[in-house]
Structure 1
Amino acid sequence: MTAQTRETVQRLLHALATGEDAAALFAEKVDWRLDWPEEGHPAVPWIRPRGTREEAAAHFRELRAHHVPEKDASQVHRVLVDGQDAVVLATIAQTVRATGREYTAHCALHLTVENGVITRYHVYEDSLSVATALTASPSH
């Protein structure tokens, strides 16, 4: 069980880093939570309630559309696995396409893997850094 969880998490991290189809790793129904109010934030359109593989795919497409992939400097610091559960400790370092602003946000990702697919996706991040980068004036 732990090996399958670790392998699935590594595949997810690889997909996120390369822009591959991360949603293919998710179950049809997903316990999805982002560390934001339920209604999300108007400046951050990809952050809103989700619950299906299709909605996960939309999330990752929207996330890529709002950032400059060549400037992604995100780093995974540690992956902790205990049975079906995993915690990823990371730093998100992105550049917002619309504003040109860079941001860095520490985050923790809590995943549950069942039968080789992700059934829980909970993200805890520095949401203020993200919202500020999206609402700032474009860089010149």
Structure 2
Amino acid sequence: MSRDTRAVVEELLRRIAEGDHERTAELFAEQLDWRLDWPADGHPAVPWIRPRSSRADVADHFRSLSAHHVPELNGTSVARILVDGADAVVLGEIVQTVRANGAAYTSPFALHLTVEEGLIIRYHIYEDSLTVARALSA
């Protein structure tokens, strides 16, 4: 199972990096446990930070994220992928530039994923959402 989990996680990271939002969403279960919602009701400057629960929501998340940043200036990196059975943790650093105002920001992140039957059923990302909100509000 760990090998299958790692393969799904690596494929997810590849598709995210390619900007293929629909194919990225295909890696997720129809219904999933999603956590990227600081504060709980979202933030007006950061439309992608809000509750989500479906595969369609996933595609929308990555489209929105992409629309608000300059892809050529994305320096996001992965430092480590840890796998334990169906669970994986991805550690890295988000480096983005806001399209609307040119503000650059950096945030460490940890992404907790759970893979079941080849699909992602849990996506919990922990980042410095305050730094992100400030950059988009600048």
TM-score (norm 2): 0.96
2:64 pairs with 1:62: yes
User: Which amino acid in the other structure matches residue 9 of structure 1?
Assistant: V
1:85: which partner in 2?
A: 87
Gapped runs of 5+ residues in structure 2? none
Aligned match of 2:107: 105
Query: Of residues 30, 33, 41 in structure 2, which corresponds to 1:31?
Result: 33
Are the counterparts in 1 of residues 37 and 50 from structure 2 also a CA contact under 8 Å?
A: no
- Please name the residue that 1:7 is paired with: 7
C-alpha displacement of 1:47: 0.8
Equivalent residue in structure 1 for 2:135, among 130, 133, 136: 133
Whole-angstrom distance in 2 between the partners of 1:111 and 1:35 = 16
Deviation, 1:104, is 0.3
- List per-residue Cα deviations over 1:12-64 (Å, max 9, x = no partner): 00011110231110000010001512101111001100000001110010000
Q: 1:35·1:125 contact (CA, 8 Å) conserved in 2?
A: no
Q: How far apart in 2 are the matches of 1:89 and 1:70?
A: 22
* Percent identical: 62
> For residue 110 of structure 2, what is the amino acid of its counterpart?
A
The amino acid across from 1:22 in the alignment is T
Please state if 1:116 is matched with 2:113: no
Tell me if 1:47 matches 2:45: no
1:12 is paired with a residue whose SS is helix
- The structure 1 segments of at least 4 consecutive aligned residues displaced by more than 6 Å after TM superposition are none
Instruction: Report the aligned-residue RMSD.
Output: 0.8
- The amino acid that maps onto 1:3 is R
